[in-house]
Chain A
């Protein structure tokens, strides 16, 4: 094809000579002054053109009336040059800005976006790199429509959730398929271990160094992914890593170094008026206290105590006759307090005990080598991150990559990509967790100083023992109920180390012209070791210490064999075809060991047999999955105007071994305009239909019997059968041997348009996708002997619109302004969910993210107000609203729409860019806020009110008119009532039955990125030996506008699991500034 166009050009050139008025010549070189060989030179509006030779020289005939020459070269920015008087035009072309967008198909084949029939979008790797995020996923945020990125937390190394369009499945994988250099790699652990407690987990995409990436293509639609059958129901992210360049210099080296500062981006307010304690009537003791101001009581969780300002201000009176505590941090002695006089507020001190400015240092080195018949890319990168939480919060990653390709024979090319990634990290316990950071930190009373968290308790007999001091146990004499946050971050350890190898060799054999056989193999193997250490005296279950470790091993292998070719069936009709076979094999093993009640308390030695036999609990889970499929892809174009693509995959998969499944897709496109000189420079409409599948989980085909525990699981008290001679039961899930696959069917239409000489680009897509036969455990009455059965019962729909716009507002030689925007709207509805009230995806039994028939996917489910038919609250005799005994849907975590808006300005070497991102209409359950009300920490609970009239409290006691009390006067419609400690510790608090009151609008707008950089001109650095030099500064997440209280709503308690929209003592998010320097030589 290329040869043909060259010939054509030469012929045209010859023809052009006759009409030419002048000959223009010159040299085309890159930014480094290296000549570019084979660059295209075209006289605009004519067919007159040329290519540059080995020295970058060209000569072109310019016909009469033409005065613009267009220079283009793959991978370089196309330039238009107005001709002046001179007949010599030397041009320097800049690398990087790709105008001829190339998308990569699911099979790893590059294709011009203009010819593509899917809604695939390409993300510029510079934009990912510039974001300075350590994870590739996080760097995608806001960059394209239809993709939602939500962080697990601000912990270093914590992963993120990535959702393309909407959720399609209840039990199947939530994440998109990741294709790295043509081979699927594992992303399974994205939703493993992301629970309401523990630590935020990584994403497996964290293992890829952002600077290694050459391109990222997001395939959103089903038709584009149909060749993967059951593998790609959630869309596909196709990542290509860099490869050595052919031509140009033999060696080139690029170095990118950055150093960043991170800090917490949103914090909760805590009241600073009232001390730890309560009023006795809260427990029904004594007479009702109408001031609703309690007394100081140590060790209680409540901050319903006395007014701190009314204390004498003298030193606390202590009793030195008994036991006491010596703190390790300050050496202070703590005796039992008999009178609390101190007025100091410790909120700020306690905050500074926990938070710091985190740092991220990052360096990557990429080396290109161009051999005669080969090219090689080698890279090394290292990231060191210290979290915004002090103590054991960090992330270190080293990556190596070598991508090597060479020609074995003229028609036989070999490519081997290999990478290693090793990371170690330590994150902080979060969430609903007595050992979690925020739980202990936020609940701490304002008059309690957390500084001393460990030390020595000396009992009344003078006997010493190590202790843990927290606001619930200020003498450190017994386990702390809640951890002191200092203990959580400094004493507890959650070491995590990942070693991952990915190797993918590929052989391409060009059998004849237009016919190629490809064999491609991918091996992705990693180990992920997750340790959890609770020293003796930690809260809750771990008062006697605990060490647990998960060793996860996963090996994914893929083999592709495919034959692809092209054939011109007539002058106007070209047919491309690919016929292939793929086998996928995945072995997963999770080896878990835990020991409790440690015999020796040594944080350096994490040893399994440091406990008695019955306290050592091993567990092993293994799975082996395999599928194989044959696929065919046919694409034809007629006149380079009409396009058709059809594909089909025939598949067998292990979980439904008896059936063969077929997944078809067809796409049609019509290119009705393609002329850069016109106002409508390019126009294409496209429509496609595709089917893909989701296989049933393995091992749900039969009833299972297993060793059990008894007790109340939800509360945590349990008896393990192994301590009682073994107890086995038949599981509550009825095995179903008749399960079949879930089938996703999607219809998509769209248009790709460009206007004003390609300056304004617009991509529009509408899609309508439905998952039929979605599998979930259907509730059956427990009286049937089962609680659930897996069934192909549900139907989930996704409908939406995606718009991407980009506009080169100004483009001159020195100054450019490019603006871009994207918009996505998705409706993700659970259409059918027979026989199930709700299925909890994640969360708590009280409040959860669930699927409910007729409701948005992941709807927030919990306790509601009791209302009458008109929707009015039904009040009790005292005028308070009440809880509905049945729970229901109380919120929708899915945004109404999302969008991004950015601009990039360049002036000579200066580049300024910004990106705003927004999510609108999404709800979130503010569990933290509700619970802080319960404890009397929330600022609202510190309100002082004078009763306008006699005010009943929740339990019927009356606050007389004129009384000044701690609480709020409110009229629910039955006359004013007092919202006081009774209210907040019952119906009006986070532990009460009404979760609905804490669902808040979590819409947000943020300045996702602001970046300024300067690229030194070649003249300035020509004596330095460097070929390029750029320095820059990037601000990330600098400004956040949201109504949501206390924490960045772009986080999620349950990590990358399907449960969305929950906040409960989630570790906070960050904002960052980072400085960066890049240079090459």
Chain B
């Protein structure tokens, strides 16, 4: 019996020691499939390319449906089209803005600062400002100063929309200062603009959102977006997963979900519709053909949504028309600044379409009874309307959503839900945020204006 006990204890002791041996299992938990760090450059690339997630992908499509630029015609998009959206529809968008946008820009910024690279730092700041700016414009009050510091702020506070835009403008100023005239064209962006110019262009966009028109005008001038070559476009090619996202969505993924239907934009370009905006100086036929194939998006090789059609995130048209509107908002007698900018855009379209169907307007066209004063309003009023209309047609996606709500729907875009009195004023806060953030301010109604539009 004793020998048995001894043997037993010996074995027991032996195997316990064996199993406690850490060497057998140590060092196996180092992920062989992923890196644990990346360079500032690659992170900046992420922050740049991810702009497509906000400006060209689902948020752009939703904005276009809300403003009736486009029509949701199939499946879930039919519901979206009637503003039937739920909080979880915005989960991915929020993550695109914060986790895939702001966070990566800030990580790049930290690395740039550590490496003493002010240009990268400035680029990162401008990109960071873009995401905060779009986030605030789409959602209203959003987290800002407590972002991306999980140890100190596991539940970031929501800050007022106007406060966030103040911060965005400061970030842009610093970014412009740091990045300077470093060229922004690269493998992602097709643009002749410098980072400083992009910074100013964004400043102009966000000053418009906050209705600070003087500052918007100055920023739009500083941006120097003097030709389409300055437009910031995401490069698209025919290679798989580099195609235009509208093309991918309509041709590859969700054929028929997104159409022009008989949207307001489509109707304004369609000479068979009563709201057709052509006149003796304007023939929208070529632009209609460029945009649409019947009621479908024109995804052919010669269309706006061709497979390899670069998509403008910040366009020449947008900045010119900001300049035009802001000039009039600051001084409603400054008609020529606005008119020049408007004509620049019209000429730009002729250049793009290879046509000569947009003759220059002159001021008389906007006088009462003029060909561009269809609502019997003041000259400056008619000019603002024409500028907004041109912008509504030229700029697809979120910036137009901001415009329609900022102007309290001056263009009278149709409201597509019989129970609503306005188009949606904002994107809904995501379900993920309401579940996980202790400082979540509560779900805000789709039709509740954001602070800037209150």
Residue numbers of A with Cβ under 8 A of B are 283-285, 300-301, 472, 479, 481, 540-541, 543, 561, 563, 567, 577, 579-581, 583, 596-597, 612, 614-615, 617, 620-630, 632, 650-655, 657-658, 660, 698-699, 701-706, 708-721, 723-732, 734, 778-787, 835-838, 845-846, 863, 876-878, 883-887, 934, 955-956, 985-987, 991-993
Contact = CB atoms under 8 A, between A and B. Distances in A.
A711 B235 CA distance: 13
A701 B29 CA distance: 8
B88 interface: yes
B79 interface: yes
Given A655-B29, A699-B33, A710 B18 contact: no
A837 B434 contact: yes
Interface of B: 4, 8, 11-12, 15-16, 18-22, 24-39, 42-43, 45-46, 48-53, 56-58, 71, 73-76, 78-79, 82, 84-88, 91-92, 94-100, 102-104, 106-107, 142-143, 146-150, 153-156, 186-188, 234-235, 237, 239-242, 245, 248-249, 251-256, 259, 261-262, 295, 416, 418-419, 428, 430-437, 440, 443, 446
A472 B254 CA distance: 13
Given A597-B240, A724-B49, A725-B186, A283 B75 contact: no
A705 B49 contact: no
Given A540-B253, A579-B8, A784-B154, A723 B239 contact: yes
A698 B32 CA distance: 10
B15 A877 contact: no
A51 to B, nearest CB: 32
A572 B100 CA distance: 71
Given A781-B155, A785-B99, A837-B434, A992 B240 contact: no
Contact of B437 (A714, A717, A783): A783
Nearest to A955: B418
Given A615-B239, A782-B95, A657 B35 contact: no
B248 A717 contact: yes
A563 B436 CA distance: 52
B86 A781 contact: no
Contacts of B102: 783, 785
Given A719-B52, A781-B432, 10 more contacts: A284-B71, A698-B31, A705-B37, A708-B46, A716-B249, A716-B252, A726-B42, A781-B156, A781-B436, A784-B156
A710 B52 contact: yes
B240 A884 contact: no
A714 B49 CA distance: 17
Contacts of A567: 4
B261 A781 contact: no
B249 A717 contact: yes
B306 to A, nearest CB: 15
Contacts of B443: 885-886
B253 A716 contact: yes
A442 to B, nearest CB: 15
Nearest to A569: B1
B156 to A, nearest CB: 4
B19 A784 contact: no
A786 B24 contact: no
Contacts of A787: 95, 99, 432
A459 to B, nearest CB: 15
Ranked 10 nearest A-B pairs via Cβ: A837-B435, A720-B241, A630-B15, A699-B31, A654-B28, A728-B42, A785-B148, A728-B38, A783-B143, A725-B187
A17 B71 CA distance: 101
18 contacts: A284-B262, A481-B255, A583-B24, A614-B240, A652-B25, A657-B22, A699-B34, A704-B36, A716-B253, A727-B46, A728-B42, A729-B104, A730-B43, A730-B107, A784-B147, A784-B154, A787-B99, A885-B87
A652 B255 CA distance: 53
A543 B299 CA distance: 15
Nearest to A848: B88
A780 B433 CA distance: 8
Contacts, number: 348
B99 A727 contact: no
Nearest to A885: B86
Contacts of A955: 82, 418
A928 to B, nearest CB: 14
A614 B28 CA distance: 33
A711 B53 contact: yes
A651 to B, nearest CB: 6
A301 B78 CA distance: 13
A885 B98 contact: no
B241 A718 contact: yes
B240 A734 contact: no
A338 to B, nearest CB: 17
A718 B78 contact: no
A581 B22 contact: no
Given A284-B262, A630-B15, A719 B241 contact: yes
Contacts of B150: 734, 780, 784-786
Contact of A721 (B28, B32, B45, B252): B45
Q: Which of A540, A577, A782 has the most B CB atoms < 10 Å from its CB?
A: A782
A934 B78 CA distance: 11
Contacts of A718: 241, 245, 248
Given A541-B253, A837-B432, A886 B239 contact: no
Contact of A956 (B24, B99, B418): B418
B76 A991 contact: yes
Contact of A785 (B33, B103, B254, B436): B103
B454 to A, nearest CB: 21
Contact of B45 (A626, A724, A863, A992): A724
B33 A285 contact: no
A711 B245 contact: yes
Contacts of A785: 98-99, 102-103, 106, 147-150
A782 B43 contact: no
B12 A632 contact: yes
Contact of B16 (A630, A654, A863): A630
Contacts of B38: 705, 728-730
Contact of A837 (B26, B34, B431): B431
Contacts of B56: 711
B312 to A, nearest CB: 15
A704 B428 contact: no
Contact of B86 (A284, A561, A632, A993): A993
A712 B253 CA distance: 11
A781 B46 contact: no
B240 A720 contact: yes
B75 A653 contact: no
A612 B188 CA distance: 20
Contacts of A884: 86
Contacts of A721: 45-46, 49
A699 B28 CA distance: 9
A41 B38 CA distance: 78
A779 B34 contact: no
Contact of B242 (A632, A660, A719): A719
B58 A730 contact: no
Contacts of B100: 708, 710, 729, 732
Contacts of B261: 283-285
A779 B35 contact: no
Contacts of A724: 45, 49, 187-188, 235, 242
Given A481-B256, A628-B24, A885-B428, A723 B154 contact: no
B245 A622 contact: no
Contact of A886 (B11, B242, B434): B434
A705 B36 contact: yes
Nearest to B419: A876
B329 to A, nearest CB: 33
A668 B261 CA distance: 73
A976 to B, nearest CB: 18
A587 to B, nearest CB: 10
A657 B25 contact: yes
A706 B11 CA distance: 47
Given A630-B15, A655-B29, A732-B95, A883 B432 contact: no
